[in-house]
Amino acid sequence: MQLTNQRRCENALHDGDGQRAAATAREAVRAFPASTIARMCLVWALGQMHAPAAEILATAQQILAIDSTNVHATEYAAIALDSLRRRDEAARMWMRFAKTDTANMDLALRVTYALFDGGNAPAAETFATELVARRPHELALQQQKWRAAFENRSWVHAIEAGEMLLANDTLARTDSTFYLKLATAYRAAARPLQAVETLAHAVTAFPKDARLYALYAQYVRSEADTVVPRGLALFPKSADLAVMDAKDLRARGRIAESLDATRRAVDLDSTMAQGRLMIAQLEMELGRPDSALVTMRRALAGGEDSAFVAEFALSRGNALYRAANTTKTSADFLLALRFLALADTVRTTVSSRFLIGAAALGVAQAALTEASKVADRVEACRLVRLGADMIPAARQGLNAGIETFGDAAKQSLDYLTELEGYVGPSTSVACGAASPPR
């Protein structure tokens, strides 16, 4: 009852005609509702047409309801669940797929890859560990156990697999990143000596790899973590020790404590070169840009090299401008503009003037867009006027960059002219009945 149209479905698939394949498969299913082979051809047709994952999953599940051991339906259901990000269900379906042929090593490896790449690293680790217990000399399985265990920070399992690979896998021994990760696993598992030993071997084997040497130096130095705290206890007024303490804390990701230590160092030695800029950088890392601006102004007042301050402000302003191009909010563009304006005030350059123009254009565009979306008339009027106020600064800055930045400046100026045409109508709409202070 189903075979004629099922064969037509297969022929259509061979011809690359997914639509015809799906149509004939559905005719076959209508002829024989308990069909599995025609439904499977329908799944293949849906896959060829890049149909929604939910549709493919529904058809695969219909097959599994009739034949729970259907290998192809199980595989397609697992792939669809991965696409739908239903991770727990996907993991169970991949394990079900693995059980269809437990002796098939290629299938097992495929399942571990699918689990890991589908966001199921814990399940991938469990599955790979079970496989390795049965086949400890299979390097491909050890590689999957290593990959999943490291991702999960399961350091014991990661080290087990890593040591096996180090002893037997030529590819691993020629990969500097492998040594980096193995040393990291040793260190995280409270085995610092093995971490240092691994890196000591690696820096010899890969003498041009700066990452290995940096990590090696960090680990060797970390063994003496108590030296700086002990020194501060003995010499609490040593600015040099306070700076070392701040650098160590920052290297360990303890940014707030590093900021406190840097402030102590500057209090102890107000003439410290770039000390306040270090404070400003840490404040930026902690998400305190307003504090960083205040600190930079204090650095100028305290005699810090204005060239350094201008360069620092310009760099941070540029980074904030790039970030604002992602968020597209007037507040973020305004924040970037404040940093760029400080840089330009201290030391005017073509770059600072052009970036001020670009940031002002960003403020204008974002403010006008936001104004069209807010219900409050007073707030809408404020945003429109903010956008209008930014246009002269944008034009001046962009014009300053025409010779250096060429097409980018010209394109921005063209857009600014177009944007300027919206200001009058937007002001009439938003501010007709509102009179907020300018």
Query: What is the full per-residue pLDDT of the chain (438 aa) written as tens digits?
Result: 989 998 999 999 999 999 999 999 999 999 999 999 999 999 999 999 999 999 999 999 999 999 999 999 999 999 999 999 999 999 999 999 999 888 888 898 899 999 988 888 899 899 999 999 888 888 999 999 999 999 999 999 999 999 999 999 999 999 999 999 999 999 999 888 889 899 999 999 999 888 888 888 888 777 656 557 767 777 888 888 888 888 888 888 889 988 998 888 888 888 777 888 999 999 999 999 999 999 999 888 888 888 999 999 999 999 999 999 999 999 999 999 999 999 999 999 999 999 999 999 999 999 998 988 888 889 889 998 998 999 999 999 999 988 899 898 899 998 888 888 888 787 878 787 444 444
Number of folded domains that form the chain: 1
CATH classification of the domain holding 42: 1.25.40.10
In degrees, to the nearest 5, what angle opens at C-alpha 275 toward C-alphas 271 and 278?
175
Residue with token string 């680790």: 125
pTM passes above 0.75: no
User: What residues contact 198, with CB distance under 8 A and at least 6 apart?
Assistant: 179, 182, 183, 186
d(CA 59, CA 391): 57
Residue 78 lies in a domain: yes
Residue 271 lies in a domain: no
Residue 262 lies in a domain: no
* 206-244 confidence digits (pLDDT tens): 998 888 888 888 887 776 565 577 677 778 888 888 888
Residue 69 lies in a domain: yes
User: What residues contact 384, with CB distance under 8 A and at least 6 apart?
Assistant: 367, 368, 371, 423, 426, 427, 430, 431
Domain encompassing residue 81: 1-100
Residue 106 lies in a domain: no
Query: 59 to each of 1, 19, 366, 397, how far by Cα in Å?
Result: 19, 16, 46, 59
3-state secondary structure of 397: helix
Residues 393 and 360: beta-carbon distance below 8 Å: yes
Read out DSSP for 11-33? HHHHTT-HHHHHHHHHHHHHH-T
3-state secondary structure of 114: helix
* 93-139 confidence digits (pLDDT tens): 999 999 988 888 889 889 999 998 888 889 989 999 999 988 888 89
Reading the block at residue 117, the tokens are: 């790449």
Residue 182 lies in a domain: no
Residue with token string 């595989």: 75
Residue 3 lies in a domain: yes
Q: What are phi and psi of 33, to 5 degrees?
A: -60, -25
- Count of CB atoms within 10 A of residue 98's CB? 21
Query: 265 to each of 55, 231, 245, 287, how far by Cα in Å?
Result: 64, 14, 9, 22
Residue 397 lies in a domain: no
* Residue 294 φ/ψ region, left for φ over 0, alpha for ψ in the -120 to 50 degree band, beta for the rest: alpha
Read out DSSP for 60-106? HHHHHHH-TT-HHHHHHHHHHHHHTT-HHHHHHHHHHHHTT-TT-HH
